[in-house]
Amino acid sequence: MRITGGNARGIPLRVPKGDATRPAMDRLRQSVFSSLGALIVDVRFVDLFAGSGSYGLEAWSRGACGGCFVEQGREALECLRTNLAAVAKSLQADARVCTVSKADALTWTPPDGVRAGLVFCDPPYAMIAESAPRIFAQFDRLLLPGREGLAVFEMPGELQLTEPGWECVKRLGGGDARAATACFYRRLAAG
């Protein structure tokens, strides 16, 4: 695993041993960020179920102004903090523009109350179907109001989530239903 683009491109990322954390693979992450393009520049992000921090760190490398990582696993947090320091060093930037919170991603609130332009969500696949309404409620709390905010939600390819008030505006991933897919969600326009 590595940062695939931006000023920290090529920086390797540590991941926890074992299968408790399933990191976002380089190819899918690269597709996500190619699709986001200039939308990432100067945006604030939240990386829910951050694991090693690959989504948020990739965003920072590609021009995001900073953000928050939310993770509760001890080993994942250790890797995330190491990865954050490595990317900050590569960017020659102050790591304090990014915060790391040891918290439940479904109940966490940002300490400064500021909303994000992008929320990345890569939860354990086994919890998605049952927790989808809570995940979308968290998107609603964390994203900028209206249609300004965008949630990038990684899930198994066979899963098709529809949530009242939200629309999937893009779906990326392989044709294999077992492979990971990234879905871009926006709130539906009011009215």
Per-residue model confidence as pLDDT tens digits over 30-46: 899 999 999 999 999 99
Fold (topology level) of 26-187: Rossmann fold (3.40.50)
Q: Locate 5 and state its tokens.
A: 């683009």
* Strands 66-71 and 98-102, sheet pairing: parallel
Domain ranges of the chain: 26-187
Q: Enumerate residues 6+ apart whose C-beta is below 8 A from 12.
A: 1, 2, 86
Residues of the chain with confidence (pLDDT) below 70:
18-24, 174-178, 190-191
CB 186 within 8 A of CB 169: yes
